[in-house]
Homo-oligomer: A and B are copies of this chain.
């Protein structure tokens, strides 16, 4: 006997119970995406390293599982799906009907050196729309994410969708007197408003060089509503148009049936630089977990990555935070692994007959087991019960069939499907 080799830290083993939970989540994702007319795709889990450095710069390499393959290619396990998506869409965009509605459920990998105990892989639902600049598509996209929550039995008491628009925020900052080249820096401060001491944020904003009203206004963003934007942008030409667009967008969640989930939060900017318009995040309403999902519009990214310049928007929803939330809210199903039938036999000479019965039941779509070795009937019934069988079909000594239903406790004659 040898010493066993263990698995790698940060990687999950999916034993049947854990696999069932994973399959439950992925099945719900698939079903919602399908109902919204999205079609599934997948790419390779291993890609050229350049695909990621091109989008995120060389800094990304420190967080990747990257290596040189035996053909001297620089490669990496995919840390996100968007570059693969951009590559695939870019290669065939001209031939495809627009808007393109695609989704995928890739396993993604990140080597995070500092965070011991954290997972280094997860599965992520990626939903993207390509070729539609109108905000109707933005509303549809968020509706997909929220409908996933509803599919898991979560309500607006469990989950909040916070939405914002980077164009709207940029308009406000301009009106407040922030120079265009300081917007990224200001947005970084806004992104951290909820987790950084107020005086630190305030000091940073002052250093960027804005007046007192501007700083106060930015500091008030997390508590502000659309009124603030009405006040500063109304009557300001193209800014007013952006405001109207965004208000029209918000109104779409009523016909989409998810209005109660959606809240305007102008402090949501999403860390990712490539978002160009409406952005959103899903959080648990109690604020116990990290974000469940994040996404938005990235109209310039496809052009930069694939050379195919099309407006696009999408979101990613991982299985780890979501799984924790579902567990905490009691929304993961109890172990669903069950067996429809166990086939037993009274006379040990009738095992072949039991196999015939099992074969017929299996071909009718049922899950069926039987004992591989002849043992006494009582022991077979014990095994069947332990295996989680709903019922046992017994081949009697006279070769007639009887069924014993463990659920109802009833027993009676049994007729095989299809004869």
CA distance A353 to B14 in the complex (A): 44
Chain B's nearest CB lies how many Å from the CB of A219? 36
CA distance A51 to B102 in the complex (A): 37
Verify if A43 is at the interface (C-beta below 8 Å from B). Answer: yes
Interface centre among A90, A337, A372 (most CB of B within 10 A): A372
List A222-247 residues whose CB lies under 8 Å from chain B: none
Q: Are A121 and B44 in contact (CB under 8 A)?
A: yes
CA distance A306 to B2 in the complex (A): 6
Q: Are A256 and B43 in contact (CB under 8 A)?
A: no
Verify if A19 is at the interface (C-beta below 8 Å from B). Answer: yes
CA distance A360 to B387 in the complex (A): 40
Query: Contacts A41-B15, A48-B6, A309-B1; is A362 near B36 (CB within 8 Å)?
Result: yes
Q: Are A97 and B1 in contact (CB under 8 A)?
A: no
Q: Are A35 and B362 in contact (CB under 8 A)?
A: yes
Chain B's nearest CB lies how many Å from the CB of A112? 9
Q: Are B11 and A44 in contact (CB under 8 A)?
A: yes
CA distance A107 to B11 in the complex (A): 16
Verify if A60 is at the interface (C-beta below 8 Å from B). Answer: no
CA distance A43 to B121 in the complex (A): 12
CA distance A272 to B54 in the complex (A): 43
CA distance A365 to B351 in the complex (A): 43
Q: Are B2 and A337 in contact (CB under 8 A)?
A: no
Chain B residues closer than 8 Å to A12, beta-carbon distance: 44
Closest to A136 in B: B372
List A31-84 residues whose CB lies under 8 Å from chain B: 34-37, 39-48, 50-51, 54, 62, 65, 67-71, 73, 75, 77, 83-84
Q: Are A368 and B35 in contact (CB under 8 A)?
A: yes
Contact of A134 among B41, B339, B367, B372 (CB under 8 A): B372
Q: Please encode chain A, from 7 to 23, with 1 for each CB lying within 8 Å of some chain B CB and 0 for all others.
A: 11001111110011011
Chain B's nearest CB lies how many Å from the CB of A181? 24
Chain B's nearest CB lies how many Å from the CB of A241? 17
Query: Contacts A35-B365, A97-B387; is A137 near B372 (CB within 8 Å)?
Result: yes
CA distance A40 to B24 in the complex (A): 12
Contact of A5 among B15, B51, B65, B372 (CB under 8 A): B51
Q: Are B90 and A54 in contact (CB under 8 A)?
A: no
A-B contact pairs, 22 of them (CB 8 A): A1-B307, A2-B305, A7-B47, A8-B47, A8-B73, A16-B102, A35-B363, A37-B368, A44-B121, A45-B45, A62-B70, A70-B111, A70-B113, A71-B113, A134-B372, A136-B372, A137-B372, A140-B372, A251-B352, A255-B352, A257-B359, A257-B363
Chain A residues at the B interface, C-beta cutoff of 8 Å: 1-8, 11-16, 19-20, 22-23, 34-37, 39-48, 50-51, 54, 62, 65, 67-71, 73, 75, 77, 83-84, 87-88, 90-92, 97, 99, 101-102, 107, 109, 111, 113, 121, 132, 134, 136-137, 140, 143, 147, 251-252, 254-257, 303-307, 309, 337, 339, 351-353, 355-356, 359-360, 362-363, 365-369, 372-373, 386-387
